[in-house]
């Protein structure tokens, strides 16, 4: 299947700092990518839809000023958690669709101290 | 609003047994349905994709069925192995966009 990568795989940061997570489609182009977060032992919650060349579409309740999404090319979307706080600690996963099938990255574990 | 439910939440079976995981959804107007597995601390691996016009898909020891009218899908795993231990998630895609609505997952443990 198609490959989606994420970087970094895990990050620890201090409260108040910003963290950038990259999501890349390695062997295909993706005009649309998705960002999810997952809390322990829970299912995935869609945060936003990242659209290449235009603004992201955020789900209800997700702060767009806190979770900045940039989709500057057909193979790269970035999620920046601004002024991170301990409650932002979570597992963040991105995905992209090709031929109607959605493929997921390996996830990024964010821990905010 | 689409809601997806998976029962049971957890399942333990001895190695070698066949098993069935269940997924139900409230809105039958779906574009497709995917089954994924997730290992602890990892991303999701796509197992099977069933288009709305299909009834089932097979890959190796896995067989997924879809009954759109009743809002149900099942994932059948034959001759289970310890390596099958993981959380299994089903997700449905509606029409008009690529968003997936995920089920709550079934945590499967295969006992050697």
What is the average pLDDT value for chain A, to the nearest integer?
Answer: 94
> According to the model, what pLDDT value does residue A48 have?
96
Are the beta carbons of A104 and B91 separated by less than 8 Å?
Answer: no
What is the pLDDT averaged over residues B44-61? 96
Contact with chain A for residue B59, Cβ under 8 A: no
Selecting from B46, B103, B105 the residue whose C-beta is nearest the C-beta of A1 gives B46
The helix/strand count (H/E) of chain B reads as 0, 11
d(CA B105, CA A55): 31
If DSSP codes are grouped into helix, strand and coil, which group holds residue B106? Answer: strand
Query: Which residues from A are below 8 Å from B91, CB to CB?
Result: 102
pLDDT in tens, A44-59: 999 999 988 889 999 9
Query: Which residues from A are below 8 Å from B102, CB to CB?
Result: 43-44
pLDDT in tens, A90-113: 999 999 988 888 999 999 999 999
Query: Which residues from B are below 8 Å from A32, CB to CB?
Result: 98
If DSSP codes are grouped into helix, strand and coil, which group holds residue B17? Answer: coil
What is the average pLDDT value for chain B, to the nearest integer?
Answer: 96
Give backbone dihedrals phi and psi of A88, rounded to 5 degrees, phi first.
Answer: -85, -10
Q: Is B64's pLDDT higher than 80?
A: yes
> According to the model, what pLDDT value does residue A41 have?
84
Q: Is A1's pLDDT higher than 80?
A: no
Q: Which residue of B has its CA nearest to A110?
A: B41
Are the beta carbons of B44 and A101 separated by less than 8 Å?
Answer: no
CA distance to A40, A65, B62, per residue, from B20 (Å) = 25, 43, 10
In sequence order, the 6+-apart residues with CB closer than 8 A to the CB of B19 are: B11, B13, B76, B77, B80, B108
Cβ count near B96 (within 10 Å)? 7
Contact with chain B for residue A60, Cβ under 8 A: no
Residue percentage of chain B with pLDDT more than 70: 100
């Amino acid at each position: 299947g198609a490959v989606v990568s994420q970087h970094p795989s895990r990050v620890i940061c201090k409260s108040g700092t910003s963290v950038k997570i990259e999501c890349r489609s390695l062997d295909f182009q993706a005009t649309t990518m998705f960002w999810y977060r997952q809390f322990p032992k829970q299912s995935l919650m869609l945060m936003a839809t990242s659209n290449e060349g235009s603004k992201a579409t955020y789900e209800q309740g997700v702060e767009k000023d806190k979770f900045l999404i940039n989709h500057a090319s057909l193979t790269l979307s970035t999620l920046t958690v601004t002024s991170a706080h301990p409650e932002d600690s979570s597992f963040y996963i991105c995905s992209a669709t090709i031929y109607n099938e959605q493929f997921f990255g390996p996830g990024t574990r964010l821990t905010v101290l | 609003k689409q809601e997806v439910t998976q029962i049971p939440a957890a399942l333990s079976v001895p190695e070698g047994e066949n098993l069935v995981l269940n997924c139900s959804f409230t809105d039958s107007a779906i574009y497709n349905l995917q089954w994924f597995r997730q290992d602890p601390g990892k991303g999701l691996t796509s197992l099977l994709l069933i288009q709305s016009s299909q009834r089932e898909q097979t890959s190796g020891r896995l067989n997924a069925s879809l009954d759109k009218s009743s809002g149900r899908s099942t994932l059948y795993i034959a001759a289970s192995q310890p390596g099958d231990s993981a959380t299994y998630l089903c997700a449905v895609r509606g029409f008009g966009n690529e968003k997936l609505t995920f089920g709550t997952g079934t945590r499967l443990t295969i006992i050697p």
